[in-house]
Chains A and B, each alone.
Chain A
Amino acid sequence: MHIPDGYLSPQTCGVFAVVMVPIWTAASKIVKKTLKARQVPFLAIGAAFSFVIMMFNVPIPGGSTGHAVGGVLIAILLGPWAACIAITVALVIQALLFGDGGITAIGANCFNMAFLMPFTGYYTYKLICAGHPIGSKRCIVAAGIGAYIGICFAAFMAGVELGIQPLLFHASNGQALYCPYRINVAVPAMAAEYLLLFGWVELIVTTLVVKYLQKQNFVFYKSDKS
């Protein structure tokens, strides 16, 4: 789901960079207020976990590969805004050092994986878990479902972002200037891969870690309202 340089037009990249600025600003303000100093090492480990879990490419035999992200997991443990910061740091390092995801696409990639994914996943989890204790079976299942929904939604949106490129930007001879695959190809391809395989990888990873940390008496994130 790491969109490389060149697949999105400079205009699209600009839009997402601009959209991300207020999100990053809000994230830093909220995290500054709510994160406790003793939670900072957990956030660092969470970001590092997300980075390394993204290196575990899972193959579709003869097809493409994909991987878990851990974005919803961090959101459940430390809150969606903290997850936004953790995933952003991981994505920036991946782009700058390892060429995984473009530097021009950092805004779009962060929008998908550091914003949409933790937030949709976290609120799905919260909706299902509501009123039940965090260690309950229901909440552990909710964490898995949240993770699945979060990563599939992020993949779907990445497909939309890629798929609108040939509709918006093409040369006079009709050839696409950036991603050449239209939305009717890009969205089903991205969505199917994640709905059928990579979403389940994310679900399993998230469920296992949540279950383990719950046994270890980790203090899970609680928003002020609940």
Chain B
Amino acid sequence: MTLIKKLCFGLAALVFLSPLGLIFPACFKACPAWGEWGTGELQKMAGYLPQGLAQMSELWKAPMPDYAFKGWEAKGLAHLSLAYIIAAITGIALIIGIILLLGKIFVKDND
């Protein structure tokens, strides 16, 4: 088996294990990363919502916010894990596609 193939299998394994990154924080009741709170959370912590932050936070609506489908927030960890895996596959497919394309266009053989 070539090294590339082995690494692809490794990547696939990580994709299917990725919901652990969702489940562990939930088990330990951990909050989001420092400085990555949603506006509601920040308002509770700081006692007010900074004006500029409130405006700018509305700028972009991601199609799969927090690696989940919109409206799935209350559906529980099983659904969220499935969405997480779908997000991982989507992200990886796009990233690999973009870099291979950039490589095709820009990298001439330097061997």
Residues of A within 8 A of B (CB): 1-7, 9-10, 28, 31-38, 40-45, 47-49, 51-53, 55-67, 85-86, 89-90, 93-100, 102-104, 158-159, 162, 169, 171, 175-181, 186, 189-190, 193, 213, 216, 218
Asked if A98 and B96 make an inter-chain contact with CB atoms under 8 angstroms apart, the answer reads no
Across the interface, A9 reaches (CB within 8 A) one of B52, B54, B60, namely B52
Would you give the shortest CB distance from A212 to chain B, in whole angstroms? 9
A193 to B36, CA, bound (A): 14
* Residues of the B chain whose Cβ atoms lie less than 8 Å from the Cβ of A104: 56, 59
Asked if A41 and B4 make an inter-chain contact with CB atoms under 8 angstroms apart, the answer reads yes
Asked if A36 and B91 make an inter-chain contact with CB atoms under 8 angstroms apart, the answer reads no
Asked if B100 and A40 make an inter-chain contact with CB atoms under 8 angstroms apart, the answer reads yes
- Given A37-B103, A52-B18, A99-B60: A62 in contact with B29 (beta carbons within 8 A): yes
- Given A62-B30, A64-B34, A162-B35: A51 in contact with B92 (beta carbons within 8 A): yes
A9 to B31, CA, bound (A): 24
- Given A98-B62, A171-B51: A89 in contact with B106 (beta carbons within 8 A): no
- Given A55-B84, A94-B91: A6 in contact with B35 (beta carbons within 8 A): no
- The A-contacting residues of B in range 32-91, CB under 8 angstroms, are 32-36, 39, 42, 46, 48, 50-57, 59-67, 84, 87-88, 90-91
Q: Is the interface of B mostly helix, strand, loop or mixed?
A: helix
Return 24 A-B CB contacts under 8 Å, by A number. A4-B57, A6-B55, A7-B35, A31-B106, A34-B110, A38-B111, A44-B99, A45-B96, A51-B88, A51-B92, A53-B14, A55-B84, A59-B30, A63-B31, A64-B32, A67-B33, A93-B98, A95-B62, A177-B50, A178-B53, A180-B53, A181-B46, A190-B34, A218-B3
Q: Which single residue of chain A is at the shortest CB-CB distance from B97?
A: A44
Asked if B36 and A178 make an inter-chain contact with CB atoms under 8 angstroms apart, the answer reads no
* Residues of the A chain whose Cβ atoms lie less than 8 Å from the Cβ of B109: 36-37
Asked if B50 and A176 make an inter-chain contact with CB atoms under 8 angstroms apart, the answer reads yes
A216 to B62, CA, bound (A): 39
A192 to B13, CA, bound (A): 31
Would you give the shortest CB distance from A135 to chain B, in whole angstroms? 16
* Residues of the A chain whose Cβ atoms lie less than 8 Å from the Cβ of B39: 6
Would you give the shortest CB distance from A28 to chain B, in whole angstroms? 7
Q: Which single residue of chain A is at the shortest CB-CB distance from B31?
A: A64
* Residues of the A chain whose Cβ atoms lie less than 8 Å from the Cβ of B3: 213, 216, 218
Q: Which single residue of chain B is at the shortest CB-CB distance from A171?
A: B51
Would you give the shortest CB distance from B84 to chain A, in whole angstroms? 7
- Given A47-B96, A55-B18, A56-B20: A65 in contact with B62 (beta carbons within 8 A): no
Asked if A55 and B100 make an inter-chain contact with CB atoms under 8 angstroms apart, the answer reads no
* Residues of the B chain whose Cβ atoms lie less than 8 Å from the Cβ of A213: 3
Q: Which single residue of chain B is at the shortest CB-CB distance from A49?
A: B11
A197 to B60, CA, bound (A): 31
Across the interface, A179 reaches (CB within 8 A) one of B21, B24, B35, namely B35
A175 to B64, CA, bound (A): 32
Across the interface, B96 reaches (CB within 8 A) one of A1, A44, A53, A171, namely A44
Asked if A98 and B32 make an inter-chain contact with CB atoms under 8 angstroms apart, the answer reads no
